[in-house]
Amino acid sequence: MTDEPYAEIWEGGLRNDLREVIFDAKTIESKVVEIGQRITKDYADKDPLMLGILKGSYPFLADLTRAVNLPLTVDFMAVSSYGAGTKSSGVVRILKDLDRSIEGRHVIIVEDIIDTGLTLHYLRQTLRGRKPASVEIAALLDKKAVRKGKELEDMGARYVGFECPDEFVVGYGLDYKGRYRNMPFIGVLRPEIYS
Ligand code: PRP
């Protein structure tokens, strides 16, 4: 018997495409609750706007907002920095913009992963131009090693879940060709799947 959520569903099947699981569902849940408690404290008396960046952020946003006891609101943007492959193209496109103005709002950008940092760098600049009261970043994973020695090294994300190894990771929102987002854990994809 395990207390890992969804354990029986994820024995075998799609899970076999992973070389290893690096963050299991229980570990992710504890970290999300911890970040939620910090946000609840940091934004006491405020009504932050939690901005999910589609599509990768959807499980993190859903779980994180349920761990924040504040009258927050939620909005979404869809941007794309990757094509169908495994490497960042460096080009950020807005596919869907916010529904409402963020003027005077305390915005928390919610992302599944900071990789090269290009997406968040672009988003933060763009959003700051719209006169919000503040803009902070909550990212579940940070692939710091990728940016070492580069201009984007420090993204200044206020809330980061885990440092992520420089591997091709999928699950909990992270995809390969649109798949694996529904895994409740995060793992390293077997190279033979994408090569
Ligand atoms: C992923 C991820 C971030 C971005 C991070 O999104 O969700 O938004 O890449 O990479 P960067 O730091 O190198 O810019 P992706 O463009 O793959 O879209 P998706 O969320 O729909 O999977």
**Residue-wise pLDDT tens digits, 121-158:** 999 999 999 999 999 999 999 999 888 777 777 778 99
- The count of structural domains within the chain is 1
For residue 187, what pLDDT is reported?
A: 98
What is this structure's pTM? 0.93
User: Is 176 within the bounds of a domain?
Assistant: no
88 assigned to some structural domain: yes
Question: What are the structure tokens assigned to 188, written together?
Answer: 């390293």
Number of CB atoms found within 10 A of residue 7's CB: 15
pLDDT at 48 over 90: yes
> What lines the ligand 1 site, CB under 6 Å?
53-56, 80-82, 88, 111-119, 175
DSSP category for residue 169 = E
Segments forming the whole domain that contains residue 115: 30-165
* Contact criterion met (CB below 8 Å) for 81 and 118: yes
Contact 71, 56 (CB under 8 A): no
Q: What are phi and psi of 13, to 5 degrees?
A: 60, -135
Instruction: Identify whether 97 is a catalytic site residue.
Output: no
In-domain check, residue 160? yes
**182 in any annotated domain:** no
**Do 35 and 161 meet the contact criterion of CB atoms below 8 Å apart?**
yes
Residue 145, in any domain of the structure: yes
Taking the CA of residue 56 as reference, the ligand 1 atom at the shortest distance is 20
pLDDT digits (tens, 9 = 90+) for 53-99: 999 999 999 999 999 999 999 999 999 875 555 555 566 889 999 99
Q: Does residue 18 belong to any structural domain of this protein? A: no
Whether 79 maps to a domain, the answer reads yes
- Asked whether residue 186 is assigned to any structural domain, the reply reads no
- At 90, which CATH number? 3.40.50.2020
